[in-house]
């Protein structure tokens, strides 16, 4: 029932994988150096437009992810712009050593695109659900970490990744998600963030598909008489400290919201942004030190409290403690 209400709140939904595929195809037209690597997931990643247009720039590696990252790193030394696109757990944890030694340490121009993040492939279970990929990649030197909020932002992230020189991790999803942005209104840049609503009681700071939940929660909280700011903090690394510091001066409290473990993710990054500064009280809302069960993503988000109703209720309780 909850996601039916969200369907009323947003006009349409879009397939995230297809949006990224479109963005990669467009980036490939603009940058002839762009290449695509995947690991026996050609159909799953939905980048067929790029593959059909540029077959000589596509490398199917089979189930050999560590080797795939090594190959992508190799072509980057020849001026290519390799995109390694895979399911989240295969793109990060199975290749953790290669991300560190081959890409981060050398500062080579490789793009890692992680699909099926969080519970977006909830029916895949713990082997395919991934809740620590932000934590893994953001601690690696030289890596940029982007977490787009919807299909429009996901498409744009492909362009940003192609344009940026250096390692980048892009955390996308899988199937339909509700829209936050329109094609003509989605400002994104490395190190950026979008203040979607202004407020003075609490700032809801979210990334990825939790941004839309934060927006709906803000409406619910407004009905309760609260003034709520909403931030799409899509660039988790580098993080927009200037915006966070200005919000701290305007708001009584922060709540960070992420489809990720609370340890090491967005909330941790926000707290670190206040090193040697006075920070506001911060509530970290996400997945708490346990693997979620198997199930459809919307039901799992409800179960985990990663939905607008739970966000609003927790915000009211949190403010009541201050």
Summarised one tens digit per residue, pLDDT across range 76-93 is: 999 999 999 999 899 999
Higher pLDDT, 182 or 139: 139
Task: Specify whether domain 194-320 bears CATH 3.40.50.920.
Answer: yes
Task: List the domain boundaries for the chain.
Answer: 12-178, 194-320
Q: How confident is the model at residue 228 (pLDDT cuts 50, 70, 90)?
A: very high
CA angle 24, 178, 191 (to 5 degrees): 55
Q: Which range (5-9, 89-93, 268-272) has the least confidence?
A: 5-9
DSSP state string for 200-246: SSEEEEE-TTHHHHHHHHHHHHHHTT--EEEEE--EEES--HHHHHH
Maximum CA pair distance of the chain?
Answer: 60
Tell me what the mean pLDDT of segment 293-297 comes to.
91
Element (H, E) at 86: strand 81-87
Tell me what the mean pLDDT of segment 103-129 comes to.
91
State yes or no: pLDDT of 49 exceeds 50: yes
Residue 177 in tokens: 């998600």
pLDDT for position 54: 97
Residues 135 and 236: their CA atoms lie apart, in Å, by: 10
Sheet architecture: strand order including 282-287: 194-197, 228-232, 202-206, 253-261, 282-287
For the stretch 133-142, pLDDT in tens is 999 999 999 9
Beta-strand pair 228-232/81-87: unpaired
For the stretch 96-113, pLDDT in tens is 999 999 999 999 999 999
CATH class of 12-178: alpha beta
Tell me what the mean pLDDT of segment 151-168 comes to.
97
How many Cβ atoms from other residues are within 10 Å of residue 109's Cβ?
23
Q: How confident is the model at residue 175 (pLDDT cuts 50, 70, 90)?
A: confident
pLDDT for position 257: 98
Q: How far is CA 15 from CA 58, 117, 159, 207, in A?
A: 22, 14, 18, 18
pLDDT for position 14: 55
Tell me what the mean pLDDT of segment 219-226 comes to.
97
Residues 104 and 141: their CA atoms lie apart, in Å, by: 6
DSSP 102: I
pLDDT for position 288: 94
Q: What is the pTM of this model?
A: 0.93
Beta-strand pair 282-287/13-15: unpaired
Q: Which range (51-60, 136-145, 287-296) has the least confidence?
A: 287-296
The answer, yes or no, to whether the previous bond of 163 is cis (omega within 30 of 0) is no
Residues 269 and 27: their CA atoms lie apart, in Å, by: 29
Domains 12-178 and 194-320 share a fold: yes
Tell me what the mean pLDDT of segment 184-209 comes to.
96
């Amino acid at each position: 029932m909850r996601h039916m209400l969200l369907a009323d709140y947003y006009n349409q939904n879009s397939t995230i994988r297809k949006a990224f595929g479109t963005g990669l195809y467009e980036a490939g037209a603009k940058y002839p150096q762009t290449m695509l690597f995947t690991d026996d997931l050609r159909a799953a990643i939905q980048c067929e437009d790029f593959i059909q247009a540029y077959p000589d720039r596509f490398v199917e590696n089979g189930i050999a992810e560590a080797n795939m990252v090594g190959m992508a790193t190799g072509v980057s030394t020849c001026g290519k712009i390799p995109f390694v696109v895979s399911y989240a757990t295969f793109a990060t944890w199975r290749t953790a050593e290669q991300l560190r030694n081959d890409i981060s340490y050398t500062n080579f121009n490789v793009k890692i695109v992680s699909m099926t993040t969080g519970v977006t492939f909830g029916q895949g279970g713990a082997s395919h659900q991934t809740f620590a990929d932000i934590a893994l990649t953001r601690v690696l030197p030289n890596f940029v970490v982007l977490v787009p909020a919807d299909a429009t932002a996901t498409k744009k992230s492909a362009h940003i990744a192609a344009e940026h020189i250096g390692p980048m991790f892009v955390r996308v999803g899988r199937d339909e998600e509700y829209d936050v942005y329109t094609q003509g209104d989605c400002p994104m840049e490395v190190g950026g963030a979008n203040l979607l609503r202004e407020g003075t009681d609490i700032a809801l700071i979210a990334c990825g598909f939790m941004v839309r939940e934060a927006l709906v929660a803000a409406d619910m909280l407004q009905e309760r008489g609260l003034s709520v700011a909403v931030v799409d903090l899509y660039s988790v690394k580098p993080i927009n400290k200037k915006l966070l510091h200005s919000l701290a001066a305007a708001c009584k409290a922060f709540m960070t919201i992420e489809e990720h473990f609370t340890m090491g993710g967005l909330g941790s990054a926000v707290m670190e942004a206040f090193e040697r500064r006075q920070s506001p009280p911060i509530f970290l809302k996400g997945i708490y030190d346990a693997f979620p069960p198997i199930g459809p993503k919307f039901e799992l988000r409800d179960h985990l409290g990663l939905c607008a109703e739970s966000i609003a209720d927790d915000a009211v309780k949190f403010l009541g403690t201050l």
